[in-house]
A and B are shown apart, each in its own frame.
Chain A
Amino acid sequence: MLRYISNRLIGLIIVLIGVTVLTFIFSNISTVDPAEAFARRNILNPTPMQIEELREEMGLNLPVYRQYFHWMGESMKGNLGISLLTKNPVSADIAKKMPATLSIVGMAFFWIVVITLPISILSAVKQNGVFDHVARVITIFGISMPNFWLGFIMLIAFAVVVPIFNVVDYGNFKSIILPSLTLAIPVISSSIRLFRATILLNMNKDFVTYAKARGISKTNIIWKHILKNSLPPMITLMCQNLGYMIAGSAIVESVFSWPGIGSHLVEAIVGRDLPTINGCVLVIAVIFVLSNLFADVVNIMLNPKILNEQGEF
């Protein structure tokens, strides 16, 4: 157990270092000169002298590897630089925008768990029944649907035709429902397909035959044996979905004019605000890595036997 955790932690540190290097590379392949961009935004008609001064001030005249270590050191202290657009510290902007995104992602997560589990269990138990077929058709549409379109359909249906919700709304519980559903439906569709397949796969395993031979009732086999063994891949998937949804919120937030991290990132891209882009990318990637780690830890706590199978990680 200890060996596994220490290996996992070393792996995590390597990945996190890699993430910072990659984020840094992404921002450096840009053809935009950040010093010039900053100067043009803040000084009317900057002279080449002023641009050079700024370059030195921002540390951009140093060799690339020293820039990296400087950026990395500052990031560790929580200083992600100053946004070119808002002139606020990037970390402050992110902290301000994050709760809005987390609220729809959290709500979407709730929908995913509440809807995926019962539907996939029902479809798997009554494989090829009417319910299973209907669920298959609906989910295939769910994974083929662009989620921004889904968002508009919901707005047209529930805010224009039947005005239950407001088209632009923010700050109350009701306003979270449509964006979170929009974010959740494609994920629910793919999760149902995967979970159903996992359950079916486990139904043919030896331990099920053995349990049947021992005379255990069908309900008991499903709940105690099959589901318990089908959960680990689901937990991993759910935690990955968290990261996907935070990144994917960019599109949904644009549909619902939601003031979250996703629309903040898109604004930064359109405005070529490199410090903000870097900061957002780094924060989202770190959340993604940590949620993967969280999934592993939960899986091990639920079923320590997994360690024996994966012990050599």
Chain B
Amino acid sequence: MVKEILKNKQAVIGLIMMFIVAFIAVFAPFIAVNNPEEISPAQKFARFSGRYPLGADQLGRCIFSRLIYGARYSLGIAIPVLLILAVISTFLGTVSAYIGGRFDRIFSIFCDIFMAFPPLLVVLSLVGALGQGILNIMIAVIFSMWVWFARVIRSYVLMEKKKGYVTASKIVGCSDIQIITRHIIPNILPAFIVYFSTGVAGIILMISGFSFLGLGIEAGVPEWGAMLSSAKPYLYSRPLLLIYPGIFILFTAAGFNLFGEALRDIISPEGG
């Protein structure tokens, strides 16, 4: 599997892009040349220079340093959200499909109700009710997305459940928990990874979208979406202020998407 990934050009490109962003996020204090939140009105819209590699923004903050720190917010929010989503949806999806019967049917109806809301709408209404803040955005995103992930996992487990090895392990005397954790989950793991790595890209885009709307993240925080939003008035005079953060979001999301899609091709070659 690892060999196949390394042989696939698209997967390698995606992996490298993911590593670059992770590296930037971890080592941000060493890469950034200035404090990303330091305001110096005298340097307002400063040009490219050694001190400000990409110039300064409307408050004289170093754009380059802000972009670098932005990686921390983007990954720092998306990855915990994804991990929690993975745990919740794997648990619910697997249990529902494995128990089956009436329980599964009620769970499906429950899913249908949640799926009647486009995820963006759930986040909007929850942020409306809970109020702003990074934690509330994370809760809202988890609340809006779990059902879509759980649904997919449920359908995988349903397919696996019918296979011979599950019956065989039952006959041998494995307990239900053993069958789920040692047999079913390892078998559907590759499909999981594909689904979740493309999911990260979606979550990154979603969160940057909310901070663009001014929901969730306070003004002044060097988050890419928020930076774009605060640059909006300078559309005519400083269009570059709007272009930079978008390139970073695009780069990050594209890395996860490229990797996830390549992985899908490796796991299930048919169907493109």
Contacts and interface: CB of A to CB of B under 8 A. Distances in A.
B interface, over-half SS = helix
Given A148-B228, A281-B121, A15 B116 contact: yes
B95 to A, nearest CB: 21
A166 to B, nearest CB: 12
A45 to B, nearest CB: 24
B243 A153 contact: yes
A149 interface: yes
B172 interface: no
A26 B113 contact: no
Contacts of B122: 26
B209 A243 contact: no
Interface in B154-208: 201, 205, 208
Interface in B127-179: 127-131
Given A14-B109, A146-B246, A167-B235, A22 B114 contact: yes
A228 to B, nearest CB: 19
Interface stretch (A107-115, A137-145, A295-303): A137-145
A311 to B, nearest CB: 17
B271 A22 contact: no
Given A201-B271, A269-B128, A285-B116, A146 B261 contact: no
Interface size class of B (residues with CB under 8 A): 35 or more
B117 A285 contact: yes
A247 B121 contact: yes
B7 to A, nearest CB: 17
Contacts of B242: 149, 152, 156
B169 to A, nearest CB: 29
Given A26-B126, A200-B271, A146 B121 contact: no
A281 B249 CA distance: 28
B213 A146 contact: no
A284 B118 contact: yes
B214 A140 contact: no
Contacts of A284: 117-118, 121
Nearest to B112: A15
A148 B126 CA distance: 21
Q: Please classify how large the interface on chain A is, using the bins under 10, 10 to 19, 20 to 34, 35 or more.
A: 35 or more
Contacts, number: 168
Given A197-B271, A250-B213, A266-B213, A140 B257 contact: yes
Interface in A225-277: 243-244, 246-248, 250-251, 254, 265-266, 268-270, 272, 274, 277
Given A30-B130, A155-B235, A266 B250 contact: no
A11 interface: yes
Contact of B116 (A19, A156, A167): A19
Contacts of B257: 140, 143-144
Contact of A11 (B112, B126, B245): B112
Interface string B98-123: 00000000000110111011101110
B235 A27 contact: no
B250 A145 contact: yes
Contacts of A26: 122, 125-126, 128-129
12 contacts: A18-B110, A26-B126, A26-B128, A140-B254, A140-B261, A145-B249, A148-B228, A152-B239, A156-B242, A201-B271, A281-B125, A288-B121
Interface of B: 109-110, 112-114, 116-118, 120-122, 124-131, 201, 205, 208-209, 212-215, 225, 228, 232, 235-236, 239, 242-243, 245-246, 249-250, 253-254, 257-258, 261, 270-272
Q: What are the nearest 9 A-B pairs in CB distance?
A: A18-B113, A149-B246, A144-B253, A144-B254, A30-B129, A269-B128, A247-B118, A247-B121, A277-B128
Interface of A: 11, 14-16, 18-19, 21-23, 26-32, 124, 127, 140-141, 143-150, 152-153, 155-156, 160, 167, 196-197, 200-201, 204, 243-244, 246-248, 250-251, 254, 265-266, 268-270, 272, 274, 277-278, 281, 284-285, 288-289, 292
